[in-house]
Amino acid sequence: MSEPGCLFCGIVAGEIPSQRVYEDERTVAFMDISPATAGHALVVPRRHARDVLEIEADDLAACTATAQRIARQAVEMLGAEGVNLLQSTGRAAWQTVFHFHLHVIPRYAGDGWTIKPQTQERARSLLDGDAQAIKDAVASTD
């Protein structure tokens, strides 16, 4: 199932060119056209889902397995020293294409790509206040 006008649905359907590196019955992996580092790839489900809140659990599992496969190859074939998996849901989290995708970002010493953490005081206040609220919300959905 695809969504009209969705960039990644167009890539999955082969209507929009991409540098595919892997595909199977559930997922497609291709190179990011604005790479954070050498070897930066994206993994998407064939079936359209807007984000992590909407994706079916089996498609999420398939995307994760494909991301692991791509990450292993980045380490083996590209000499990456580590890998970040990044998934963004919503504009506030930097999502720009509203089709679920996992970024597989190979990491190299000194590559300069960073995510700025909170200050220690801010992090502590977030932990203290939010941990219980999340714990209670998760428990109520079981």
57-78 pLDDT, tens digit per residue, is: 999 999 999 999 999 999 999 9
Alpha-carbon gap, residue 138 to 140, rounded angstroms: 5
141 pLDDT tier (thresholds 50, 70, 90): confident
Whose tokens are 């996992």? That residue is: 102
pTM of the model: 0.86
CB 21 within 8 A of CB 31: yes
pLDDT digits (tens, 9 = 90+) for 32-55: 999 999 999 999 999 999 999 999
Q: Which residues are catalytic?
A: 101
The domain over range 7-113 is classified in CATH as 3.40.50.720: no
Rg (CA), the chain: 17
pLDDT digits (tens, 9 = 90+) for 114-134: 877 666 666 666 666 777 777
**DSSP 3-state of 138:** helix
Answer whether residue 25 shows pLDDT above 80. yes
For the chain, the average pLDDT equals 91
Domain residue spans of the chain: 7-113
Answer whether residue 1 shows pLDDT above 80. no
**DSSP 3-state of 142:** coil
Q: Containing H/E element for 75?
A: helix 57-78
Q: Give the single-character DSSP code of 13.
A: T
